[in-house]
Structure formats: C-alpha cells, structure tokens
Structure 1
C-alpha cells in the first residue's frame, strides 16, 4: 500500500472518502475534531470534574467514564454495543471486552495478520473502513452503537474519526478518547485498563494479573539491556516515496517510556506544529548516525522491503549491519500487547553493536 490516503472500495454519501489525504497527513496528525456537536444518545457529556475511570455498577444502573479530554461521559446503563479504533478494540479484547465494529487498519500485511489488530476475531466484526478518512456511517448506524472509542494523538482528536462526518458520527453514539501522545506509555496502559474495567472487565482475573506480571518483568529486562549495552543510539522512523520521517521521541508514549528506561534515542527535530516527526528528504537520510533503527510496522508505512528502493537507506550503517527492529508505534495498549514489544526491543538492544558513522 503505497499511499494510505488513496481510499479504495465502496463510495457513497455514507462513506467518507478522502483521496487527497497524504501519507504525511496520516503520519503527522489526526483529523481535527471539535467534539462539540449535540448528542442524541441517552445521558450526557460534561467537562465537570470527577474522578478518573468509570463507574463499577456490575452492569446495573448508570454508567460513567471520564475520558482523557476531561469529559465525563454518562449513559443510563453500561454500554453493550461498542465500536472502536482497531488497536483500541484489540486492547479491550485482551481484557475480555468485545466490540461489534472496528475502524482503522485491519487488513493483512504481507500475508500476515495486521499488527494493530492483536488477537481480534476480525471475521466476526464489522469493519467501517480500513483507510484514513474512510468511515461508513451507514454501517455504523446499522450496528446501533452505544459507544465509540478511539485513541488520541493528542486530545481532543479521535484517531481515524473523519472531521467531515464528525457531527453525524457523534449524533449516533457517545464517544470516549484515550490519549496516547506526549505522555509516557504507562498512562495509556493504565487508562485503557480502567476503561475496560468500567465496561465489565475483571482486572483481578488470573490471566490479566499474569499479563501484568509478564509486562513488569519485560520492563526490567529492557532496563537491564539498556544499562548493559549503554551508548547504543536508536533511531525510530517511518518512510514513504518522498521522505524519511525521524521520530521526536517525547511525542510518542512508547519511545518516551523507553527513554525513561535508559535507551538513548536520536532526537528528531519537530518539522511542523504537530511535533511528531522531522521530515528528511531521502538524500538527507544519513543526517543522523544510529546503531539501531526501529522501523514503523504499520500497514500505512513502507515495509523494510519497500525501503530498499531508496539507495541512501541501503547505505545507512545500521541497515548495512542488519541492526533494525520493527517499531510497533500503534500497538494495542494492553499489558499483554506490549510485553512482546518490550521483549523484541530488549533482544535487539542486547545484540546491537556500536557502529562507525
């Protein structure tokens, strides 16, 4: 998929289709959402102060949850029909909370399951669209949704919810957003767990407790690897046909957290108001020296094989040395989901050698 902004498939007045959105638009910013439209679902939204997390009514009585926009979302009862951004849905699934519909990248990548879909039973779910700007309102309405959930990069924008159809979407169900940018990884992990619990998950279930223990162990192993192989410079990136994008680590919750554990990152400089990337032409791909490169593994990004089309990419020391590792920059925010990510990076850090520029 060379340009995720080129939407293919069904086109109708109920399908938002944005062929003009570039890869940079997906990589660098979310669709702007004002989130101010009146809602017709039962209950109400407010910005009043309340404790974070949601009500624990056992499925009976009113349901409330204060999301990361600072909004207290209220319904007359716990929402049953859920629709969510694919990786958010995958995280909830790890806690036993199931959704009816998803939106966002879910198609296989190079014949393998999409990394953003986690363990989701995709064949049983209704997809509202897989490309940025693609959201079937007709299918959404047919589900009779009680609640829509998505990540935010950063608030108040709901990721993959198109601005053009925001009001229509909000008129059908309440929305909840979890912030995953300009913070540390532990925050969205905690907030997603709180949301799952409010939706009926048992955070004391043996498999959930075990997943958290495994995550904590993986964290300490990564911390030790960073300490034992100190001085390794790591660069996180994505790319398209025109440019290479170097991540600004503190803008991404995972990279921010990895820095806290002692990993030394190349610090990309903000190229726009969003502050997620430094844009480099491929001629300048060697601006920074890196001993290890983390490559965006999303379907919207060029794969390691596609990156080989760029001669300057092939000349980078880390690429020549085979010191690259997938970057799961939109991994599902569950402890079960992130443990393999930590283990993969730990192995890469331990094996990496300092390279000459």
Structure 2
C-alpha cells in the first residue's frame, strides 16, 4: 500500500473504516494506545474510562512516552469536541462484547463516528489472548508498523521459560496462584481465571491458578479478607490500576512474604508487554518454590 492509497480496516464489529490515506493521528483508549505503541505505532493521544481520572493511570500506559502523547481525559469528562480537539484521523478503542465502544458513552460514540473513523477491537473473554493480540497486530500493520521478529522471539522464550518453571514447581500441584483486585482492608474482588484471556494463558502454560467458589459475579467473586486468604495463595497477582486499593491494606503482616506479581487486568497485547508479564510470573513461581 502506498502512502496515498485508500486505507481500509474492518473492525471486530464487522464495521469497515476507510480513509483517503493511511491515518497518522491516532487517538486511542489507553489500553489500545499502549498496545499500539508496543507494536510500533505512536498514538497522538489517549483517553480513559469511567474508572480513570484527570491524569493517565500509569498501570495502564505501559511504556508510552506520556510527555509526547496527550491525555485528553476520561469518562464523563469527554465529549466529541474534546476528543476531536487534536484533529485525530482515527479513533481506536476496545469492546467487551456486543460491539459496545468501551470508555465512551453512546451519546458520545455515535456522533464521534459520524466525524472520524472509529475502530473497535474485541477484548472480551470470548476470545483468546493470542486472537486479540493478532487483531491489534493487524491494525498496527495497516497503520505502517513493521513486523518485529525479535519481539516474537522474546515472547516465545518467555512462554517456554514459564512452562518449564511451572512444571519444575509441580504443575497442577505447584504454588497456588490467586489473582485479585483489592477493594480495601476488608474485601477483594477475586478473579475467575477462565474469564480472563491473559489468565487463561497462564493456565495453559501449567500455572496453578485458583478458582473461587461458584457464586455471584461473572468475572470476579467479591470476598471478605478472611475468605480471600482462605484460598491459601502462595503467589498473588494483584491489580495495580489506580482505582484498586493498595495490596498492603488488605494482606497485613501475616501474608507479607507471599511473592507478588503486579497485574493490570486491562493487559497490553503486544509481544514484549506480554513477555514481560510472563517473566514476572515465572520469577514469582521460582520465589514461591524457594520459600
């Protein structure tokens, strides 16, 4: 495709976006923007969701150069004119199913799409982590990114290392890994691993992820402090997003030596970002085994 030819991309709603030429001023939901950056595309700007505040959540931004990428706000603070103030020629966001444009109210998303192409990538639990990553990679290539064989090699190596570490640690009888989002000193939202594409990758590689008991909550089981630690975590994956409570408020001194992996439940889908996370999990399993 030459620089002057028409740009076309069909998103995960089946909606075809077109432009007279390849877009170069991309505004993206923070997760999408940080993922694209890891794939070789620098967004012009990013925006957050209702969970976010007036400043970008550093847990979600990965290695984005925030001194070069504008943050235009989040949630109810966003309207069409604010989103278009930097004159983007493409908006990229995500969906958790049903084609809903995450991070933007319907009364904002609809008129936005009437003025600029909007691409939506489905990151719901119905898809695998690999499938989501491939869709972001396709979009990045359409925007001019080149393939990065070294990044893919790093990811392959990280996967094989975690598989080997998990097996050496006992596989299905290895350290009990619990993923949760602290909600204060007395409560946590414990992840149901099968509902999270990134956590399913860990299970596939042999990590022993603990499933909370059936009950209310599709993605999370909200438990009291005693119930959370009754799951006997030997490795903790803790939500590090800004709206999550600090882990130390919840665990106290008696659980203070359990290895901890910082976990962003809105993961970045580039191979380097994923490899980094897998490496942290492998490190934690080794630490748990050595205790």
Structure 1 and Structure 2 fold alike (TM over 0.5): yes
Pick from 198, 214, 239: which aligns with 1:254? 198
What whole-Å deviation, never above 9, does each CA across 1:216-245 have from its counterpart, x for those lacking one? 100100111111112221110002237311
Instruction: Report Cα offsets for 1:37-91 as digits up to 9, x if no partner.
Output: xxxxxxxxxxxxxxxxxxxx23332222122223332333222221001121122
TM score, norm. by length of structure 2 = 0.87
Contact map agreement 1:235 1:290 (CA 8 A) in 2: yes
Q: CA deviation at 1:336?
A: 1.6
Describe how 1:40-119 pairs up with structure 2 within 5 A.
57-104=1-48, 107=55, 114-119=58-63
Q: How does 1:137-286 map to 2 (within 5 A)?
A: 137-182=80-125, 183-203=127-147, 208-230=148-170, 231=173, 232-241=175-184, 243-268=187-212, 269=214, 271-272=216-217, 275-282=218-225, 284-286=227-229
- Counterpart of 2:270 (choices 318, 334, 337) is 334
Deviation at 1:315, TM superposition (A): 7.2
C-alpha displacement of 1:287: 4.4
Quote how far apart the aligned CAs of 1:152 are: 2.2
- Calculate the aligned-residue CA RMSD, in Å: 2.4
- Residues 221 and 119 of structure 1: CA distance in aligned 2, closer, same or farther (over 3 Å): same
Equivalents in 2 of 1:77, 1:282: separation in Å? Answer: 54
Q: Residues 270 and 89 (structure 1 numbering): CA distance in 2 closer, same or farther, change over 3 Å?
A: farther
Contact residue 198 and residue 267 of structure 2 kept, 8 A: no
Q: What TM-score do you get using the length of structure 1 for normalisation?
A: 0.72
Q: Which runs of 5+ in 2 are unaligned?
A: none
SS of the aligned residue for 1:264 comes to: coil
1:108 Cα shift? 6.9
Give 1:214 shift: 0.7
Structure 1 residues 98 and 251 mapped into 2: Cα distance closer, same or farther (>3 Å)? same
Contact 1:129 1:136 in 2 (8 A): no
